[in-house]
Homo-oligomer: A and B are copies of this chain.
Amino acid sequence: MIVGILGGGQLARMLALAGYPLGLKFVFLDPTADACAFPLGEALHGSYNDKHLLDRLAERADVVTYEFENVPTDAVQSLSRRVPVYPSPEALAFKQDRLREKLLFQELGIPTPLFHPVDTLRDLEEAATRLGLPMVLKTRSQGYDGKGQVVIEQTDDLKSVWEHMDKVPWMAEKYVAFVREVSAIAVRSRRGETAFYALAENIHRHGILHLSRSCPRDPMASLARQYAERLLTRLDYVGVLALELFQVGDGLLANEFAPRVHNSGHWTIEGTETSQFENHLRSILGLPLGSTAAVGSVAMVNCIGDLPDPTRLLSLEGVHLHDYGKPTRPGRKVGHVTVRANDDKSLQARLDAVCELLKGSASKCFQ
B-contacting residues of A (Cβ < 8 Å)? 13, 17, 20-23, 25-26, 39-41, 273, 282, 287-288, 290-291, 295-296, 307, 310-311, 314-315, 317-318, 320-325, 335, 340
Contact = CB atoms under 8 A, between A and B. Distances in A.
22 contacts: A13-B20, A17-B17, A20-B39, A20-B325, A21-B320, A21-B322, A21-B323, A22-B310, A22-B323, A23-B325, A23-B335, A25-B39, A25-B325, A39-B40, A40-B40, A287-B310, A288-B311, A288-B315, A290-B314, A291-B317, A291-B318, A295-B296
A310 B281 CA distance: 13
A323 B41 contact: no
A273 B318 CA distance: 7
Contacts of A273: 318, 340
A23 B13 CA distance: 11
A324 B22 CA distance: 8
Nearest to A341: B273
Contact of A21 (B317, B318, B321, B340): B321
A69 B340 CA distance: 35
Contacts of A39: 20, 25-26, 40-41
Which 6 pairs show the lowest CB-CB distances between chains A and B? A23-B323, A288-B315, A21-B322, A288-B314, A287-B314, A23-B325
Contacts of A307: 23
Nearest to A18: B17
A115 to B, nearest CB: 39
Contacts of A318: 273, 291
Nearest to A313: B288
Given A25-B325, A39-B25, A296-B295, A282 B314 contact: yes
This chain's copy number in the assembly: 2
A228 B321 CA distance: 28
Nearest to A326: B23
A321 to B, nearest CB: 6
A15 to B, nearest CB: 12
Contacts of A40: 20, 39-40
A20 B21 contact: no
A17 B277 CA distance: 14
Contact of A311 (B20, B287, B322, B340): B287
A311 B273 CA distance: 17
A12 to B, nearest CB: 12
Given A23-B323, A287-B314, 14 more contacts: A20-B39, A20-B325, A21-B320, A21-B321, A21-B322, A23-B307, A23-B324, A23-B335, A25-B39, A25-B325, A26-B39, A288-B311, A288-B314, A288-B315
A313 to B, nearest CB: 9
Nearest to A324: B23
Most B CB contacts (10 A, CB to CB) among A21, A41, A325, A335 go to A21
Nearest to A193: B315
A34 to B, nearest CB: 11
Nearest to A296: B295
Most B CB contacts (10 A, CB to CB) among A291, A314, A323 go to A314
Contacts of A20: 13, 17, 39-40, 325
Nearest to A307: B23
Contacts of A291: 317-318
Contacts of A314: 282, 287-288, 290
Contacts of A321: 21-23
